[in-house]
Amino acid sequence: MASSTLSTPSPNLLKHQNRPSSTTSSRRSSTFLPPIRSSVSEKPPFQVSISQPQTTKLPIRKIPGDYGIPFIQPYKDRLDYFYNQGRDEYFKSRIQKYQSTIFRTNVPPGPFIAQNPNVVVLLDGKSFPVLFDASKIDKTDVFTGTYTPSTELTGGYRVLSYLDPSEPKHEQLKKLMFFLLKSRSRHVIPEFQSCYREFFNALENQLAENGHASFADNNDQAAFNFLNRALFGVNPVDTELGLDGPKMVQKWVLFQLGPVLKLGLPKFVEDSMIHNFRLPFRLIKKDYQRLYDFFYASSGFALEEAERLDVSKEEACHNLLFATCFNSFGGMKLFFPNLMKWIGRGGVRLHTKLATEIREAVRSAGGEITMAAMENMPLMKSVVYEAFRIDPPVPLQFGRAKRDMVIENHENGFLVKKGELLLGYQPFATKDPKIFERAEEFVADRFVGDEGEKLLKHVLWSNGPESQSPTVGNKQCAGKDFTTLISRLLVVELFLRYDSFEIQVGNSPLGPSITLTSLKRSSF
């Protein structure tokens, strides 16, 4: 339990600098949230790079496409990517032009933020998984792509998401994340129930008053409260942070991702202000300090574990803040509306099947929502997996080739040179028609049964296949199974409470904007 209060003193974050990596601890932590599958097994033996690419039975084809005239072509490509075509059409048009799912192009932000916007794009389900192979791909500082946000935004530290598994700090920090999730596992379900019952009450009140209710506005506060109550035992509303947390986090994330986002401002205003120059940290310095102070005061038990892993409390705190606010809160902010969108579009027939399955499983478990009860909800689990497949919360994955190698799509092999930056666009890879039937459709029961479960290896949202688990030696999301669990909990809570619901779907810079227009209370 986090027993510290916000009066606990903390070092000023602006003094933090990158420390040299210490020798990693040999102490190993275990898995969390049984039977969720995560592992902190030691890294596999380091694999020596070879100078010659592997052989392939497919015909070798030169990677099509080119990068054009420096500065001019990257700028033109950026306008196409954001405004003239949009991201999906940008990639789709080039697949058609080159008759290939692997090609060369430029991606934002380009000039003046990123010196080198050149990438080799992977847009199919066969080539995409090479990005998960730590023996072939270097993940150093490519979390956000062709540019890296200033470490001022993370207290002067390169946090876990920007580290390659070969770096000693990667193992130490990932072990810390596993420790946090394991040590707080029994709090996840009850705190989710508490926070999201408050969330649904707020939706009902707004719906009764206005005839509609915004999912995002209510979800942001519920998600932030849940994460801090479940992981640290502290309700931010009861601290000096109050209700300010979600808005401060969103501003902080904007300063990191602004160069690769389309915000909906007038085209030339947005492009010149957001995509050409980095927003200065000083504009959010006080907000970040407030967030840091809150996490430093709330996470004493985790900071003590960090010191046992030879990580300073300061560096650990910045990583805990990033993992909670950027990774976890950001994931809930992006994915929960997507989940509601696809289930909402499924209509009353799907809703009735889900409500029946969920309520029967909970009754069989004595009226309690448990891990075992959720394992007896195959349609509910499939719906969550299908939403991850069709609308992954993190669509872009990057990695740099550690050596010369051949990457295959379904038709050809392509020689990639050491040092080239690879970009995988996941919505195309997970909607590959050569892997999934009716790939563009949301098929609620796609992953039900033995044959459906075999397809889980092609669900890739967590920076790794759904059929595999995160370890200290890979870059798969440490909270993969935590995220799957809370996504299932949202669906379970929804259909324990309601028979059906209706929505209106709009657009926002970060995905769909969901407005609830009807909630039909449980009748059976």
What the block records as the tokens of 81 is: 């990517």
329: left (phi over 0), alpha (psi -120 to 50) or beta: alpha
| 220 three-state secondary structure | helix
Q: How far is it, in rounded angstroms, from Cα 116 to Cα 106? A: 9
Neighbouring CB atoms inside 10 A of 286's CB total 9
Q: How far is it, in rounded angstroms, from Cα 120 to Cα 490? A: 37
Residue 493's beta-bridge partner residues? none
Contact 466, 459 (CB under 8 A): yes
The DSSP call for residue 109 is S
Kind and range of the H or E element at 421?
strand 421-425
- What is the strand order of the sheet 511-521 is part of? 213-214, 511-521, 498-508
Residue 423's beta-bridge partner residues? 121, 398
Neighbouring CB atoms inside 10 A of 487's CB total 24
Contact 212, 516 (CB under 8 A): yes
Contact 337, 512 (CB under 8 A): yes
Question: CB within 8 A of 108, min separation 6: which ones?
Answer: 77, 78, 81, 82, 114, 117, 146, 259, 260, 275
317 is an annotated ligand-binding site residue: no
Which residue, among 449, 448, 447, has the nearest Cα to 458 in the 3D structure? Answer: 447
Instruction: Enumerate the known binding-site residues.
Output: 477
Annotated binding site for heme: 477
